[in-house]
C-alpha cells in the first residue's frame, strides 16, 4: 500500500475506534434507539470509505503486478470476492 493511503486509513480507523467508544456510551446511557442506529450507520459508512481506499490501492499496485506476473486467476478471484462482499 502507498504510505499516503496507509496514513489516511490509520487516521480513519482511529476515528472509528472513537465512534465505537461513543456507541458504547450511547447504549450504556439508554440513548434513544433511532439515535443509536443513526450512529451505527455512520460507522458502517466510514468503514465503506476505508474499503474504497483499500480497493483503489489494491488495484493500483497488487492487481497490476499480479496480472503482469501471470497470476490472473488469483487477481480475478480476489476482486470478485470483495465485489460480492460489498453488498453485505
Closest distance to a copy of itself from the beta carbon of 5 (Å): 10
Closest distance to a copy of itself from the beta carbon of 28 (Å): 7
Residue 32 — left, alpha, or beta (φ > 0 → left; ψ -120 to 50 → alpha)?
beta
Q: Which residues are CB-contacts of 30 (< 8 A; sequence separation ≥ 6)?
A: none
Task: Tell me how crowded residue 63 is: count the other CB atoms within 10 A of its CB.
Answer: 19
Binding string, residues 50-69; x marks residues near a copy of itself by CB under 8 A:
xxx-xxxxxxx-xxx--xx-
Closest distance to a copy of itself from the beta carbon of 22 (Å): 10
Residues between 2 and 41 that touch a copy of itself (CB under 8 A): 6, 9-10, 13-14, 16-17, 20-21, 23-24, 27-28, 30, 32-34, 36-38, 40-41
Task: Tell me how crowded residue 38 is: count the other CB atoms within 10 A of its CB.
Answer: 11
Amino acid at each position: 500500500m502507498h504510505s499516503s493511503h496507509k496514513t489516511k486509513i490509520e487516521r480513519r480507523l482511529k476515528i472509528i475506534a472513537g465512534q465505537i467508544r461513543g456507541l458504547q456510551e450511547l447504549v450504556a446511557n439508554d440513548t434513544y434507539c433511532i439515535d443509536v442506529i443513526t450512529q451505527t450507520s455512520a460507522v458502517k459508512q466510514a468503514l465503506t470509505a476505508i474499503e474504497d481506499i483499500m480497493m483503489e490501492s489494491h488495484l493500483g499496485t497488487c492487481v497490476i503486478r499480479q496480472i503482469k506476473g501471470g497470476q490472473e486467476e488469483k487477481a480475478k478471484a480476489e476482486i470478485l470476492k470483495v465485489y460480492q462482499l460489498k453488498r453485505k
